[in-house]
Amino acid sequence: MNDQTTEQKRLDNWSYLRGHDWSQLLECQPRFADKCDWHKLDGTDWASLLRRQPRFASNCDWSKLEGGDWVRLLEDQPQFAKYCNWAKLDGTEWMCLLCGTRGYEFVKHCDWEKLGGEDWSHLLSQHPNLSTWCDWDKLDGCDWANLLAERTEFADKCDWNKLDAISWRRLVSIRPEFADKCDMRKFAGGQIVGLFRDGGRRSLNALSHRVNECDLSTLTVTNWCSILAIRPDLVHEFEKSTHNWYDDEKELVPAGTEVEMISAEEFFKDEK
∠ Cα 100 103 107 (to 5°): 150
- Residue 272 in domain: yes
- Residue 142 in domain: no
Domain range for 246: 183-272
Q: What is the pLDDT of residue 268?
A: 47
In this structure, how many other beta carbons lie within 10 angstroms of the beta carbon of residue 64?
16
Q: What is the pLDDT of residue 73?
A: 98
Q: Which of 72, 90, 108 is where one domain is finished?
A: 90
- Residue 113 in domain: no
239-252 pLDDT, tens digit per residue, is 998 888 877 766 55
- Residue 52 in domain: yes
Q: How many domains does the chain have?
A: 2
Cα(229)–Cα(210) distance, rounded to whole angstroms?
17
194-214 pLDDT, tens digit per residue, is 888 664 455 578 888 888 899
- Residue 246 in domain: yes
Q: What is the pLDDT of residue 206?
A: 82
Do residues 45 and 20 touch, judged by C-beta distance below 8 A? yes
